[in-house]
Structure 1
Amino acid sequence: MANSSLEFTLRPFRLSDADDFFIYAGDVKATRFARLSTLTSKEEAISYIQNHCIPHPYFRSICINDRCIGCVFIAPEKGEDRCRAEIGYGLALDYWGKGITTRAAKIALSEGFKQFPDLVRIQAHVEVDNKASQRVLEKLGFQREGLLRKFTYNKGAIRDLFMYSLLSTEFIA
């Protein structure tokens, strides 16, 4: 049974998160569907946090007791495509099945729609085999729009993805 009472916070990443981030990002099972390559060292974790997470417009550490257990991001497009953004998330294995990802993504959606005023659509690309992520999005009210056949490379193979979207007018905070 899901433990919906587990308390967590979202906050910007810090370099001091590297050890905890590496627990998630260095785990082959936890990163199976992530576009992030599975990290192999704490140094790679530091570099990723420094060069990607910190400068990103919305990349948050999911924390329990201020320790990083995962991440959630909203990546807005620029220019004429600024009406849409991509959402992504990941979580350390020990915390799977507890409802944390769904609740963290809901907070991120709320903050994203406020922080990026031109945003009217948040979308997600999810591998066909990633049933857990599909359930997260569906619980949040995302609509599956279709199958993107042979759409991307991930972990050395060409993958089919489902496209999901949520419009700002559909989001219930």
Structure 2
Amino acid sequence: MPWAVTRAANSRGQCCLTTSIMNPSNSLTLRPFKLSDADDVLKYVSDDQVTKFLGMETITTKDEALAYITNECMPLPWHMSICINDRSIVDVPSFNHEGHKAEIGYCLARKYWGQGIATQALKMSVKMVLKDFPEIVRLEAFADVENIGSQRVLEKDGFKKEGILRKNTFIKGSIVDEFIYSFLSTDVTKAKL
């Protein structure tokens, strides 16, 4: 289904993007985290299946979710929440921005797996980053070699698998192999963003 992106500013002057998916009454929104997201965030970051491939520990209490939002999300302007009807369902971690390149990542509430939402959320995020940071020519993403779902999301959105990074990162007590993916600013037209 075609989707349209509109730019708006929230009360803090930060940009937000909105896209309609599935039907016009069910909109996907990219916005900064709010403390009121704690219950929604807790639902997905307390799920061991959601955090299985993440470098963070599973969060188990509302206080931990509030601390995560306060200390990890809110201080970083590009650590965004993807929402359906203003309910947080996807965490798009901060883009680690280094000159001409940035790293992008995400995690999605399990209830929404297999519905194309992560693909749409990543597409929105890529479009926003490349528009707001014109100096970025390369986005990088990493996917655990066992995380087939994340690999599919990246490939659907036009990311190219460049290779495997052996013993690249520490996740849940183990050092794991990861695939590295890239998306170049020149890939935008090919990916139909």
The answer to whether residue 181 in structure 2 is matched with residue 161 in structure 1 is no
What is the distance in 2 between the residues matched to 1:65 and 1:166?
Answer: 29
SS at match of 1:170: helix
Residue in structure 2 matched with residue 109 of structure 1 by the alignment = 126
Q: Deviations over 1:102-129 (max 9, x none)?
A: 0011011000011112111000111000
Report the 3-state secondary structure (helix = DSSP H, G, I; strand = E; otherwise coil) of the residue aligned with 1:94: helix
Deviation of residue 152 (structure 1)? Answer: 1.2
Q: Segments of 4+ in structure 1 off by > 6 A? A: none
1:7 and 1:100 map into 2 onto residues whose CA distance is 11
CA distance in 1, matches of 2:99, 2:85: 35
Q: Which residue of 2 aligns with 1:40?
A: 60
Find 1:88's aligned residue among 90, 105, 113: 105
Distance 1:76 1:150 in 2: 20
Q: Residue 138 of structure 2: which of 111, 121, 127 is its match?
A: 121
Which residue is equivalent to 1:17? 37
Q: Is the 8 A contact 2:166 2:176 kept in 1?
A: yes
Letter in 1 for 2:72: H
CA RMSD of aligned residues (A): 1.2
**Greater shift in the superposed pair: 11-20 or 65-74:** 65-74
Instruction: Give the counterpart letter for 1:51 in structure 2.
Output: N
Structure 1 partner of 2:160: 143
Q: What is the DSSP-based 3-state SS (H/G/I as helix, E as strand, rest coil) of the residue aligned with 1:34? A: coil
Distance 1:73 1:115 in 2: 16
**Contact 1:153-1:159 within 8 A present in 2 as well:** yes
**C-alpha contact 2:30 2:80 (8 A) present in aligned 1:** yes
Q: Which runs of 5+ in 2 are unaligned?
A: 1-20
| TM-score computed with the length of structure 1 as normaliser | 0.92
Query: What secondary structure is seen at the aligned counterpart in 1 of 2:188?
Result: coil
CA contact (8 A) 1:8 1:63 kept: yes
Query: 1:83: Cα distance to partner?
Result: 0.7
Instruction: Give the SS at the match of 1:70.
Output: strand
For the residues of structure 2 that align with 1:76 and 1:154, how far apart are their CA atoms?
18
Checking the alignment, whether the CA contact within 8 Å between 2:38 and 2:66 is kept in structure 1 is: yes
Q: 1 or 2 for the larger relative contact order (CA 8 Å, sep ≥6)?
A: 1
- How far the C-alpha of 1:74 sits from its partner, in A, is 4.5
Contact in 1 for aligned 2:32/2:77 (Cα 8 Å) = no
Mapped contact 1:24–1:93 kept (Cα < 8 A): yes
- State the percentage of identical aligned residues: 50
Which string of whole-angstrom CA distances, capped at 9 and with x for unpartnered residues, describes residues 84-105 of structure 1?
Answer: 1111111111110000000011
- Flag the 1:74–1:50 CA change in 2: closer, same or farther, 3 A: closer
